[in-house]
């Protein structure tokens, strides 16, 4: 069965096809080539850049895989104030960035009035730019207020669509249902919504990944963020193996074929696991990169996994180097807002 041709033709693959592609029976080269073709049909050779500002390493959650989980008493905590965030945006704007992503742990300090104030200040000073939030689960009312303040995109990975796997990765207080509800709330309000999951998370099997894909089909997100699970020495999963680059690339390619319009980042986790990860992600269908715009002195404190890159091509300041890598991979950096093309 030619599963790749079936996906290209827009038909929904049964689980058997997804299993074959995830097992590398595409074969991989053909899978990646097909994904690249579809990406070029929809987005040409454009790679969109987002300036990532990690606003807080405080988190009230205790996800078992994450280095900034509440129980990690060795995590170095910081939060950025409004003026610091604005100066990151100013620096980013001068470098050509037109999307700012405010990402952080679920830090109660960033209550609605505080975060709305920041979003309003950025929107006022940079009217042509998009503000993306990635600050976790909040109420419908809170998401509405943030939208009214000017935020237009929201990233919230569903993490695991399988109830069984979700429970193994998260503490009892968290629920997959609430997370999914948040995603549907965000969509209803009018945000461009991003979801996603880790590849090779502890206890994850192929069947779980298929559930993730099925959930994404239901949600139909504008953006999908995936990257390999990488361990962190101060979490309960410290001895678990990390995810692999090849599985991440296969999933990126499958997602590109299934969601031709999607904005898919070639993530920092993928770049952190292998020096060629960034390029290979782009060549397997990814069309977004999110270099780090956080102040240099806090970058290593946002340590969600060990050996997370934040310098070199990961640094927003090194745009010329990033441009070279992207060009060498066969693409071109575009600095407009890069809204989804559906
Ligand atoms: N390895 C890889 N990705 C991780 N994330 C959190 N911890 C890890 C880890 N150890 C991902 C989660 C989260 C995103 C911001 O980072 O999927 O949604």
Which residue minimizes the CA distance to atom 2 of ligand 1?
229
Q: Is residue 302 part of a domain?
A: yes
Report pLDDT for 317. Answer: 85
Contacts of 263 (CB under 8 A, 6+ apart): 48, 194, 222, 223, 224, 287, 288, 338, 340
Assess if residue 120 is contained within a domain: yes
Mean pLDDT of 162-176: 98
pLDDT at residue number 1 = 80
Q: Is the pLDDT of residue 314 over 90?
A: no
* Mean pLDDT across 20-45: 98
Percent of the chain whose pLDDT exceeds 90: 96
Identify the domain containing residue 96 by its residue range. 28-334
Cα of 184 vs centre of ligand 1, distance in Å, is 21
pLDDT at 122: 98
Instruction: From 231, 226, 315, select the one nearest 270 (Cα to Cα).
Output: 226
| Domain-located, residue 20 | no
Confidence of residue 255 (pLDDT cuts 50, 70, 90): very high
Model confidence pLDDT, tens digit, residues 106-141 = 999 999 999 999 999 999 999 999 999 999 999 999
Mutate to test the pocket of ligand 1, among 101, 304, 308, 309 (most ligand atoms within 8 A of CB): 304
- Structure pTM? 0.97
User: In the predicted model, what is the mean pLDDT of the chain?
Assistant: 97
In a domain, 214, yes or no: yes
Cα(229) to ligand 1 centroid in Å equals 7
pLDDT at 180: 98
- What average pLDDT score do residues 318-324 get? 92
The total domain count for the chain is 1
pLDDT at site 313 = 82
Answer whether residue 11 is part of any domain: no
- Tokens 């959930």 appear where? 215
For position 141, what pLDDT does the model report? 98
268-312: per-residue pLDDT in tens?
A: 999 999 999 999 999 999 999 999 999 999 999 999 999 999 888
What's the pLDDT at 60?
98
- Around ligand 1, the residues with Cβ closer than 6 Å are 65-66, 157, 159, 198, 227, 229-230, 232, 269, 304-305
pLDDT for 149:
98
Cis peptide upstream of residue 72 (ω within 30 degrees of 0): no
Residue 7 belongs to a domain: no
Is 186 domain-assigned? yes
Q: Is the pLDDT of residue 55 over 90?
A: yes
Name the residue with tokens 């559930």: 211
Chain segment 206-233, per-residue pLDDT in tens: 999 999 999 999 999 999 999 999 999 9
Q: In this structure, what CATH number is given to the domain that contains residue 32?
A: 3.20.20.70
Per-residue pLDDT averaged across 172-191, rounded?
98
Q: Which two tokens stand for residue 39?
A: 């990406």
Q: At which residue do the structure tokens 């020096």 appear?
A: 275
Residue 20 pLDDT > 90? yes
What is the rounded CA–CA span in Å between residue 25 and residue 28? 7
Atom 16, ligand 1: which residue's CA is nearest? 304
Q: State the burial class of residue 29 (Cβ atoms within 10 Å of its Cβ: 0-12, 13-18, 19+).
A: exposed
Could you tell me if residue 138 is inside a domain? yes
- Which atom, in ligand 1's list, is nearest to the CA of 156? 18
d(CA 262, CA 341): 8
């Amino acid at each position: 069965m030619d599963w790749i041709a079936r996906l290209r033709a827009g038909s929904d693959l049964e689980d058997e096809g997804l299993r074959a592609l995830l097992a590398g029976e595409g074969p991989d080269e053909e899978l990646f080539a097909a994904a690249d073709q579809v990406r070029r049909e929809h987005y040409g050779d454009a790679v969109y850049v987002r300036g990532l500002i990690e606003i807080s390493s405080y988190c009230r959650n205790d996800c078992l895989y994450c280095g900034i989980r509440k129980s990690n008493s060795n995590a170095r905590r910081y939060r950025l104030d409004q003026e610091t965030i604005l100066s990151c945006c100013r620096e980013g704007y001068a470098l050509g960035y037109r999307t700012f992503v405010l990402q952080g742990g679920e830090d109660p300090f960033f209550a609605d009035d505080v975060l709305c104030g920041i979003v309003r200040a950025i929107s006022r000073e940079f009217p042509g730019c998009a503000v993306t939030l990635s600050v976790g689960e909040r109420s419908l009312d809170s998401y509405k207020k943030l939208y009214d303040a000017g935020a237009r995109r929201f990233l919230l990975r569903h993490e695991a669509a399988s109830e069984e796997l979700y429970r193994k990765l998260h503490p009892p207080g968290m629920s997959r249902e609430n997370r999914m509800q948040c995603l549907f709330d965000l969509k209803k309000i009018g945000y461009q919504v991003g979801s996603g999951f880790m590849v090779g998370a502890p206890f994850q099997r192929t069947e779980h990944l298929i559930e993730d894909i099925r959930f994404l089909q239901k949600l139909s997100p504008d953006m999908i963020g995936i990257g390999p699970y990488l361990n962190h020495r101060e979490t309960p999963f410290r001895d678990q193996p990390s995810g692999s680059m090849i599985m991440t690339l296969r999933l990126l390619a499958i997602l590109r074929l299934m969601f031709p319009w999607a904005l898919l980042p070639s993530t920092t986790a993928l770049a952190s696991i292998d020096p060629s990860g960034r390029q290979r992600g782009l060549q397997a269908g990814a069309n977004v990169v999110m270099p780090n715009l956080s102040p240099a002195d806090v970058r290593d404190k946002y340590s969600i996994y060990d050996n997370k890159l934040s310098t070199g091509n990961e640094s927003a300041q090194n745009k010329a180097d990033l441009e070279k890598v992207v060009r060498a991979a066969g693409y071109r950096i575009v600095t407009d807002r890069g809204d989804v093309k559906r």
